[in-house]
């Protein structure tokens, strides 16, 4: 981590728990709001961290959502265990979704997850293997 790193807030995300789904990202959002972060950044963080959290709930065996605060940026790190994304390139295409029918019926998994995260971040990194996926979403202050 670079020198300007200041603080990490972390939240555990449980796989398949659709009742708690959204609470982690919502806590991050409200925390940053109360800290006085600018409105248009809040929007980016709300959308990206929500998508990241829902992805963990739907597609992984569970993981964490971290909110790393730097002097000049905010980085949302989503970290989960297995099964990983087989074809990352494809998953980054708008409209592509591996969500099952039952999940889609809940209104999730329209295939906008990754593309949306990319769209609303200033820098976007993703690494995935069968052990899990790590996504880093950078939003500059």
Nearest to 55 by CA among 21, 20, 89: 21
Q: Is the peptide bond before 83 cis (omega within 30 degrees of 0)?
A: yes
Q: Which of 84/92 has CB closer to another protein?
A: 92
Least separation in angstroms between CB 7 and another protein: 5
Angle at which helices 23-35 and 39-59 pack, to 10 degrees?
160
Query: Three-state SS across 114-128?
Result: HHHHHHCCCEEEEEE
**105 forms part of the interface with another protein (CB under 8 A):** no
Residue 15 CB, nearest distance to another protein (Å)? Answer: 20
Part in contact with another protein (CB under 8 A); list of ranges 46-54, 78-86, 89-97, 98-106? 46-54
Task: Supply φ then ψ for residue 38, to 5 degrees.
Answer: -60, 150
77 binds another protein (CB under 8 A): no
- Cβ proximity to another protein: between 49 and 132 the closer is 49
With contacts defined by CB under 8 A, name the span among 10-18, 47-55, 58-66, 77-85 that binds another protein. 47-55
Contact 69, 137 (CB under 8 A): no
Q: Characterize the bridge pairing of strands 123-129 and 63-70.
A: unpaired
Q: Could you list the residues that contact another protein (CB under 8 A)? A: 6-7, 22, 25-26, 29, 31, 33-40, 42-43, 46-47, 50-51, 69-72, 107, 116, 120, 141
């Amino acid at each position: 981590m670079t020198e300007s790193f200041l603080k990490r807030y972390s939240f555990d995300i449980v796989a398949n728990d659709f009742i708690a789904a959204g609470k982690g990202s919502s806590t991050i959002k409200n925390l940053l709001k109360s800290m006085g972060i600018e409105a248009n950044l809040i929007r980016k963080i709300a959308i990206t961290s929500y998508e990241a959290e829902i992805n963990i709930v739907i597609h992984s065996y569970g993981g964490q959502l971290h909110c790393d605060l730097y002097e000049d940026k905010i980085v949302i790190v989503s970290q989960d265990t297995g099964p990983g994304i087989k074809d990352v390139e494809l998953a980054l295409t708008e409209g592509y979704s591996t969500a099952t029918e039952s999940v889609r019926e809940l209104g999730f998994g329209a295939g906008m997850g990754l593309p949306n995260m990319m769209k609303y971040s200033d820098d976007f990194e993703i690494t995935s293997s069968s052990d899990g996926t790590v996504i880093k979403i950078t939003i500059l202050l």
